[in-house]
Structure 1
Amino acid sequence: MHPRLDDLLGSLHVVTLPMVTRFRGITVREAALLPGPRGWTEFAPFPEYGDAEAAAWLAAAIDFGWGAEPARRRDRIPVNATVPALPAEGVAALLARFPGCRTAKVKVAEPGQRLADDVDRVRAVRRALGPEGRIRIDANAAWNVDEAEHALRALSPFDLEYAEQPCARLDELAELRQRIRDLAIPIAADESVRKADDPLEVARAGAADLLVIKAAPLGGITRALSIVQEAGLPAVVSSAIDTSVGLAMGAALAAALPELPYDCGLGTAALLAADVTASPLVPEDGTVAVRRIEPSAALLAEHAAPVDREAWWRARIERCWSCSPPRPDRV
């Protein structure tokens, strides 16, 4: 069973949610929410993504709202704190929004900042977490190989759990892995999975030690599970600053994985100053529950996007549908 385009557009709610800090260059997060027979679901690719790429996010939303959910292997998911590229003095207050989290993912290589800023930020995180805390960094493919090696050697004293997408290309990642063998810092692939024509190529190329998996850009939970199985690499499930509805999709994916060796990036509702539910999927004792989210009608109304933005999302859904009618059996 799958919906018609008219079904989607007729039940659409577009929201604009304020954030507690700038992240990925934005201070508000827009998302389109849809009620399906299996529960509420979310379509929220970032505005700069093209229609062909965003079509996978629509397929994932339909899969989660209309398709069958895989069996759960766990009911709670351990999550990491997410630290944007903020000044070091703001780290402690930001981490307080992630109670019980033993791991922090720290954004680095922010445009306009220096490596010294990254070092100061990671040092502040290590100070806040203590020696037993886990720190991973995410460069969002911003470095070339030389820059990445230099940065990782500067950051290695802080005992990094792994470095996420330090470089853009697979050959760069593979070369970097060889250059930093003495540092024993694993390389995680994110963009090389979710933005690739062939998400399995990163594993075949020996370019990463683990995968960062996001359900929405990969077309849904079913396809994401298949990619992890075929890649044969450990996986950590992450999010894209989703509302609690979108995070529920990620939690369902994490709950279905046979193994979950890493804390997941599914605590990002803590970065939102508002949400669509009175019971947001925020970290509690370092974990989030695996559960469906029912938005509040009052909060949907309070945070409804302006008319022009709703029209923009409607037109986007129509275009993504035209790219390839997204159906659960095609993801």
Structure 2
Amino acid sequence: MSILPSLDELLETLRVVSLPMNTPFRGVTVREAALFEAPGGWVEFSPFLEYETAEASTWLAAALDAGWQPQPEPVRRSVPVNATMPAVPASQVPEVLARFGDLTGLNTVKVKVAARGEALEDDRARLRAVREVVGDEVRIRIDVNGRWSLDEAFAALTQLERFGLEYAEQPVATVEELARLREMLANAAVTVPIAADESIRKAEDPMRVAALGAADLIIVKAQPLGGARRVLDIVRDTGLPAVVSSALDTAVGIAFGARVAAALPALEHACGLGTGAFFDRDVVAGPLVHDFAIAPGWPEVDADALRQLDAGTARTGWWRERIADCYAQLTRDSPDAD
């Protein structure tokens, strides 16, 4: 096993970047991230700013795992990637899809729904607009982020089934509600598969999703789950198909997600690794995704981009303190700690 860096060694190569976004996503208009140069390449630590140390420390564990531990071997040379549609007005759908470039190779679009302050009709309008642009052959999946109640989810999915949904991601908040919703949909012959996201990455026991029959597939994210090996363990233990998705990562984190996806024993769905389209500029010179596919590997970080996207002294100081807190948390949680 490789020796992990000390905190001082980790901070020696720290670069904090601030990436402006061309489309607000998850309420974020500027994405901050900490990058470290590990022996094999650059790794990322970018928990959202509001996350407390206990949650954010898992993201640091993922960076340490990616940069300083042996990684799973890939079993495929290319990972399919979906486009993502934020919860924008229907009139903006063509403009957002245009940011993904030539749509000839597109086979899947993930559409955000249930945004705060919006009604189901707004979601229907967005889905209609997406279908008009991409045609009937492209898969559409929706992401609810657990914002519907059980009754709202059943009513909504009954109505949205007509769009031929590939699946609905985290339509309700709890594992028990997911399980009950699957029963309700089956009894009503509504054929919308259910995917678990937050019930996997924010749960103390992700295995409950499989134990309760709460999902048809799972969404896994390399940073929030603590790294590649942890992701592969969860996929193996649940026995469910998996989709690897980003957490609005920079190109460094996207490449990490692609390496994880390439190591999955099976990959039946396109992965959510195309969110780099929402950045005005990224930390690499060119796009990682080509024709809605990404080859697993280590990205070449652009030195000029690092300088131009530098978050500044104050923000770098804030991240240094956050990293120190998370490192201390991981040290306390380590089995080797006294």
Contact kept? 1:41, 1:61, Cα under 8 Å: yes
Q: Give the alignment partner of residue 178 of structure 1, picking from 178, 183, 187.
A: 183
1:317 aligns with 2:323: yes
Q: Give the alignment partner of residue 108 of structure 2, picking from 83, 103, 107.
A: 103
**CA distance in 2: counterparts of 1:36 and 1:178, whole angstroms:** 47
- Counterpart of 2:53, as a letter, is D
1:162 aligns with 2:167: yes
1:231-271: CA deviation from partner (whole Å, max 9, x where unpaired): 00000000011111000110000000010000000111111
Residue 71 to residue 168, structure 1, CA distance change in 2 (3 Å): same
Q: What TM-score, normalized by structure 2, do the two folds share?
A: 0.95
| Unpaired segments ≥5 residues, structure 2 | none
1:277 aligns with 2:284: yes
Deviation at 1:96, TM superposition (A): 2.2
Correspondence list, 1:53-132, <5 A: 53-98=55-100, 99=102, 100-132=105-137
Residue 89 to residue 51, structure 1, CA distance change in 2 (3 Å): same
Deviation at 1:294, TM superposition (A): 2.1
Q: Give the alignment partner of residue 230 of structure 1, picking from 234, 237, 259.
A: 237
**SS of equivalent to 1:48:** coil
- Partner of residue 270, structure 2: 263
**SS of equivalent to 1:180:** helix
| Unpaired segments ≥5 residues, structure 1 | none
Q: Give the alignment partner of residue 288 of structure 1, picking from 294, 297, 322.
A: 294
**Off by >3 Å, runs of 4+ in structure 1:** 326-330
Contact kept? 2:61, 2:330, Cα under 8 Å: no
- Residue range with higher mean Cα deviation, 220-229 or 121-130: 121-130
1:9 aligns with 2:11: yes
**CA distance in 2: counterparts of 1:14 and 1:111, whole angstroms:** 31
- Partner of residue 303, structure 1: 309
1:206 aligns with 2:208: no
Deviation at 1:326, TM superposition (A): 9.1
**CA distance in 1: counterparts of 2:292 and 2:308, whole angstroms:** 29
Q: What TM-score, normalized by structure 1, do the two folds share?
A: 0.97
**CA distance in 1: counterparts of 2:128 and 2:334, whole angstroms:** 44
**CA distance in 2: counterparts of 1:179 and 1:48, whole angstroms:** 35
Contact kept? 1:188, 1:212, Cα under 8 Å: yes
1:247 aligns with 2:254: yes
- Counterpart of 2:75, as a letter, is R
**CA distance in 2: counterparts of 1:163 and 1:207, whole angstroms:** 12
Correspondence list, 1:35-50, <5 A: 35-50=37-52
- Partner of residue 199, structure 2: 192
- Counterpart of 2:151, as a letter, is D
- Counterpart of 1:88, as a letter, is A
**SS of equivalent to 1:72:** coil
1:274-307: CA deviation from partner (whole Å, max 9, x where unpaired): 10110232x3112112121121111101000022
Deviation at 1:325, TM superposition (A): 2.5
**CA distance in 1: counterparts of 2:332 and 2:128, whole angstroms:** 44
Give the aligned CA root-mean-square deviation in angstroms.
1.5
Contact kept? 1:2, 1:327, Cα under 8 Å: no
Alignment: residue pair count: 329
Percent sequence identity over matched residues? Answer: 54
**SS of equivalent to 1:183:** coil
- Counterpart of 1:112, as a letter, is G
**SS of equivalent to 1:212:** strand
Deviation at 1:71, TM superposition (A): 0.8
- Counterpart of 1:316, as a letter, is R
- Counterpart of 2:108, as a letter, is T
- Partner of residue 24, structure 2: 22
**SS of equivalent to 1:325:** helix
Residue 139 to residue 300, structure 1, CA distance change in 2 (3 Å): same
Contact kept? 1:59, 1:327, Cα under 8 Å: no
**CA distance in 1: counterparts of 2:317 and 2:34, whole angstroms:** 11
- Residue range with higher mean Cα deviation, 283-292 or 57-66: 283-292
**CA distance in 2: counterparts of 1:131 and 1:211, whole angstroms:** 25
**SS of equivalent to 2:172:** coil
- Counterpart of 1:252, as a letter, is R
**SS of equivalent to 1:90:** helix
1:164-206: CA deviation from partner (whole Å, max 9, x where unpaired): 0001111111111111121111100000000000111111111
